[in-house]
Structure 1
Amino acid sequence: MSPQRKLLLLGTFVHCKTQQDLDIFHGAGIAVDAEGKIAAIERDAPDLDEAKARLLTRLGWDEAEVDVTQAADGQFFFPGFIDTHIHAAQYANAGIFGKSSLLDWLETYTFPLEASLSDLSKARRVYARCIRRTLSHGTTTATYFATLDVAATNLLADLCLSMGQRAFVGRVCMDRADELNPAYYRDASTEASLEATRQTIEHVRRIDPGFDIVSPILTPRFAPSCTREVMRGLAQIHRETGLPIQTHLSENTGEIQLVAQLFPETTSYTDVYRRLGLLTPRTVLAHAVHLSEEEADVIAGHGSKVSHCPCSNTSLTSGAARVRWLWDKGIDVGLGTDVSGGYSHSILEAARQAAMVSRHVAMNIHTAHENDDNDDDVAAKEKERVKLTVEEVLYLATKGGAKCVGLEDKVGGFEVGMEWDAQLVALSHVHDDGELHHDAEHEHEEEDHGFVDVFGWESWEDRVAKWLYNGDDRNTKRVWVKGRLVHRRR
């Protein structure tokens, strides 16, 4: 790979300062060094030319050695999205979930597709398309479930590295020998499952020794598909290596009932993972829809994280996770697309679905005594409080996700020392005649900025809201991971 060039990014920058606040700065510049890290930020220059000159002078850089990207009027830079839960092996089934519940869907659609990816030519087609698609939607970091197959899992890691997507890649462990894991798709034994996991770890260590772009992640599929022994074994590997863990938790009520039957010695689904050593600060628990107060307290006490997957939770009729309640409990939350339980691989879509689901949570809050005015007032305030704002769901998509996967010091925002994982977003500007504006540089190109129409009188906060609720991959013009340009929309 050729040496990476330094970057200067000029224009408007938007990122989440806190859960509640966007930081929007105009006429600014960010310098990114050859290692892909933000070396300096200039926010106070009178214009972009001066911002560029100040950064070059401050850093002693020769402009000839720097690639300059200047956002056009109305465009802005935004941090790359972080998908904290996605099944790369299920990408080909996105949009196919039938009329079934979770367990039926696994048997009918999911396990047959995953098993078929032992054919590496088929796996390459599915994985390469998944990576390209998610990158095109601004996903710079993805936390992937792969399959049981070691070679196919290794291929996914290879492709993420070569295509430049930051990724956590997990070989799925499923060693329980019963009807839940079909005979054609299960680990041969507990020992074989743990050995295969170690093989994938060593492969990733060979191709990316520092796990700078691709990292292994320990992946017990979910408690019903795993024996106690394999979960204890994965917990031991975590203690030896410090590697992250991902699994599913309390996705729907049928699954919870099954866990209670399979693990009668435990007090809850969460307690299964606690007893077996899988609740750690580096654990990402997907869904967490039906948690008790006690379970949430246990998760918070262990520092484990939750991946909120609103599209999947709705598609499979699993339920509505309560993000505000999880935050109140002190649990870090990110967003997951959960393809293919979720039909969309877009984290922007997941963010708007999170906003919508929070409104359904609000609508389900009712008073204890319908004729008590005080209770009505309390309920009204709580309904308003649980609804997630534009700022909050974009936080989930960036900084919240970074915390979930342990990258909060590297990605998710624009600060000196962080890595340049970012996207350039373009919105449509509407002329007086109702036609769309094309900037002069690209007048000859057939540009499509999607459904986000900007008329000029909107505040920048309103423009960002329009992007959240109406945007798609047509708005994402460029994507960088650690300073490397990994996607450009023509």
Structure 2
Amino acid sequence: MASATISKTIYLGPFVHSFSLTNLEICGKGVIGVDEKGVIRFVERDSSLEDVHSKHDEWKEAEIVKTQDNGFFFPGFIDTHTHASQHPNTGIFGKTTLLSWLETYTFPLESSLSSLSKAQTVYSNFVSRTLSHGTTTCAYYATTHVPTTNLLADICLKRGQRALIGRVCMNTMSPEYYRDQSVEDAVRDSKASIDYIRSIDPDGSIVQPIITPRFAPSCTATCLSALGALHKETNAHIQTHISENKPEIQLVQSLFPTSKSYADVYDTAGLLTSKTILAHAVHLTPDEISLVKSRDSKISHCPASNTALTSGCSPVRELLNAGLTVGLGTDVSGGFSPSILEECRQAIWVSRFRAMNDGDEAKLSTAEALYLATRGGAQVVGLEDKVGGFEVGKEWDAQMISLGEVKEGGEQEGKFEGPVDVFGWESWEDRVNKWVYSGDDRNTLAVWVRGRLVHTTGRYQQ
């Protein structure tokens, strides 16, 4: 659970964060002061606690939190696209591709979450799971059901995880047992969920609503336009899917024959805005890239899902070079893991698959993947002024990473404390790379959102 109150706290130890897409700062000796509101008030490099106390006299009584076991502080991960309602199906996608996977696995599960008790179990577990992986902000798809979508918002608010919560809209191309019965129903129920989420967190400091047309094939043109109008009325964020795989694109062309492209379908409906998150974008045309850029819409890159469902390898370098804003998404349960750290690895692998045909420029570096996981994601969800890095004025959304240490002789008795082996001679850059390529939730000892402790493991010592 999130701690009820926080005190003025000094975080002592190495820290790592992205300055820019290609510049990853690794500070081996840092001191960061966070006030009672969870806001960073100073960041000192190559400094001691004594130096900080002499410079900041009013912080002498502050609580001290130190890194542990070859550890460092890192910004909280931001998952820009995932389906909380599909969590029980994680890792279950068989041999299917996107459209058959929806019919076989997804719609039956999502429809069952009309049950408050079942939704409580699924959503509580998934929020706990994502927090354990260091995800401090998440853009969630729920289901068509208003009460259980609202329940997801309640859970995130109680646990202290930042979240954009979306009630899914679809009035066609889905089973009769699981769809909006009319455009009016889709708008009314979406508005009901928006109003509820804003009532429990009026400032949107933790949870915010997000308008969620599932994707163009599941909504009629009239429904899409009505949701575009709802966006204008409420100024809520928008999330949907685009150009995930080629059969889907062909389907969109057949359903919207007068539209110039998949992106144009959304643009015509008023759904392509600066507050829009477009998941996947594997097969955008040059004209679509230009259109998305002109509307300042954002991209959620979901490499694990795109590989699992054989959708394709998104040309992330091309999107970045075009000036698009890109973050990472786990896309559970098309994706097999709720971990954004895993998505960093997968994004790097997918970029290397692209490089085999497109040349080395397509490759993403470790620093670039970590940028997409933090600052890039913050821009995608509209929180770039609050989170994503460690600067004065930003809020303390952070995780404490522990890498452990190989003991002399190397013999291991009992359980390993994590998958990363540090022998002691590695540079800090080496250690960060080992974490990115080998780490998992066992390396995340503690997680904070707005300065509040929202997750710990048994090895965390406060």
Tell me the TM-score normalised to structure 1 length. 0.91
Q: Who is 1:13 aligned against?
A: 15
Q: How does 1:19-418 map to 2 (within 5 A)?
A: 19-45=21-47, 47=48, 49-54=49-54, 56-57=56-57, 60-61=58-59, 63=61, 66-176=62-172, 180-365=173-358, 383-418=359-394
Which letter does structure 1 place at the counterpart of 2:454?
Answer: V
Contact 1:42 1:55 (C-alpha < 8 Å) held by counterparts: no
Of 457, 474, 481 in structure 1, the residue corresponding to residue 449 of structure 2 is 481
Q: For the residues of structure 1 that align with 2:51 and 2:456, how far apart are their CA atoms?
A: 25
Q: For the residues of structure 2 that align with 1:219 and 1:51, how far apart are their CA atoms?
A: 50
Q: Does 1:459 align with 2:427?
A: yes
Q: For the residues of structure 1 that align with 2:18 and 2:140, how far apart are their CA atoms?
A: 25
Contact 2:14 2:73 (C-alpha < 8 Å) held by counterparts: yes
The percentage of counterpart residues that share the same residue type is 56
Q: Does 1:450 align with 2:418?
A: yes
Deviations 1:334-371 (A, max 9, x none): 00000000010000000000000000001123xxxxxx
Range moving further from structure 2, 26-35 or 383-392: 26-35
Q: For the residues of structure 1 that align with 2:5 and 2:160, how far apart are their CA atoms?
A: 14
Contact 1:35 1:483 (C-alpha < 8 Å) held by counterparts: yes
Which letter does structure 1 place at the counterpart of 2:396?
Answer: W
Which letter does structure 1 place at the counterpart of 2:288?
Answer: E
Range moving further from structure 2, 209-218 or 452-461: 452-461
Deviations 1:89-130 (A, max 9, x none): 000100000111100000000000000000110000000000
Contact 1:428 1:436 (C-alpha < 8 Å) held by counterparts: no
Which protein is bigger by CA-based radius of gyration?
A: 1
Q: Who is 2:440 aligned against?
A: 472
Q: Would the alpha carbon gap of residues 237 and 55 (structure 1) be closer, same or farther in structure 2, given more than 3 Å must change?
A: farther
Which letter does structure 2 place at the counterpart of 1:449?
Answer: E
Shift of 1:79: 0.2
What secondary structure sits across from 2:93 in the alignment? coil
Q: For the residues of structure 1 that align with 2:398 and 2:130, how far apart are their CA atoms?
A: 13
Deviations 1:323-342 (A, max 9, x none): 10000111010000000000
What secondary structure sits across from 2:14 in the alignment? strand
What secondary structure sits across from 2:118 in the alignment? helix
Shift of 1:52: 4.6
What secondary structure sits across from 1:78 in the alignment? strand
Q: For the residues of structure 2 that align with 1:311 and 1:293, how far apart are their CA atoms?
A: 24
What secondary structure sits across from 2:41 in the alignment? strand
Q: Who is 2:408 aligned against?
A: 432
Shift of 1:435: 4.2
Q: For the residues of structure 2 that align with 1:155 and 1:51, how far apart are their CA atoms?
A: 47
Q: Would the alpha carbon gap of residues 253 and 291 (structure 1) be closer, same or farther in structure 2, given more than 3 Å must change?
A: same
Range moving further from structure 2, 1-10 or 204-213: 1-10
What secondary structure sits across from 2:29 in the alignment? strand
> Where do 5+ consecutive residues of structure 1 fail to align?
366-382, 438-445
What secondary structure sits across from 2:81 in the alignment? strand
What secondary structure sits across from 1:450 in the alignment? coil
Shift of 1:241: 2.4
Q: For the residues of structure 1 that align with 2:132 and 2:69, how far apart are their CA atoms?
A: 22
What secondary structure sits across from 1:29 in the alignment? strand
Contact 2:38 2:395 (C-alpha < 8 Å) held by counterparts: yes
Which letter does structure 1 place at the counterpart of 2:148?
Answer: A
Contact 2:170 2:186 (C-alpha < 8 Å) held by counterparts: yes
Tell me the TM-score normalised to structure 2 length. 0.96
Q: Who is 2:397 aligned against?
A: 421
Q: For the residues of structure 2 that align with 1:388 and 1:2, how far apart are their CA atoms?
A: 40
Q: Who is 1:380 aligned against?
A: none
Q: For the residues of structure 2 that align with 1:143 and 1:447, how far apart are their CA atoms?
A: 34
Q: Would the alpha carbon gap of residues 456 and 337 (structure 1) be closer, same or farther in structure 2, given more than 3 Å must change?
A: same
Which letter does structure 2 place at the counterpart of 1:53?
Answer: H
Deviations 1:223-243 (A, max 9, x none): 000111221122122222221
Q: For the residues of structure 2 that align with 1:106 and 1:135, how far apart are their CA atoms?
A: 26
Shift of 1:61: 3.6
Q: For the residues of structure 2 that align with 1:35 and 1:55, how far apart are their CA atoms?
A: 21
Which letter does structure 1 place at the counterpart of 2:50?
Answer: E
Q: For the residues of structure 2 that align with 1:93 and 1:467, how far apart are their CA atoms?
A: 27
Contact 2:28 2:428 (C-alpha < 8 Å) held by counterparts: no
Contact 1:253 1:318 (C-alpha < 8 Å) held by counterparts: yes
What secondary structure sits across from 1:432 in the alignment? coil
Which letter does structure 2 place at the counterpart of 1:468?
Answer: V
> Where do 5+ consecutive residues of structure 2 fail to align?
none
Q: For the residues of structure 2 that align with 1:454 and 1:354, how far apart are their CA atoms?
A: 24
Q: For the residues of structure 2 that align with 1:43 and 1:331, how far apart are their CA atoms?
A: 32
CA RMSD of aligned residues (A): 1.4
Range moving further from structure 2, 67-76 or 255-264: 67-76
What secondary structure sits across from 2:122 in the alignment? helix
Q: Would the alpha carbon gap of residues 475 and 352 (structure 1) be closer, same or farther in structure 2, given more than 3 Å must change?
A: same
Shift of 1:395: 0.5
Q: Who is 1:442 aligned against?
A: none
Q: Would the alpha carbon gap of residues 288 and 483 (structure 1) be closer, same or farther in structure 2, given more than 3 Å must change?
A: same
Contact 2:17 2:26 (C-alpha < 8 Å) held by counterparts: yes
What secondary structure sits across from 2:400 in the alignment? strand
Q: For the residues of structure 2 that align with 1:32 and 1:188, how far apart are their CA atoms?
A: 49
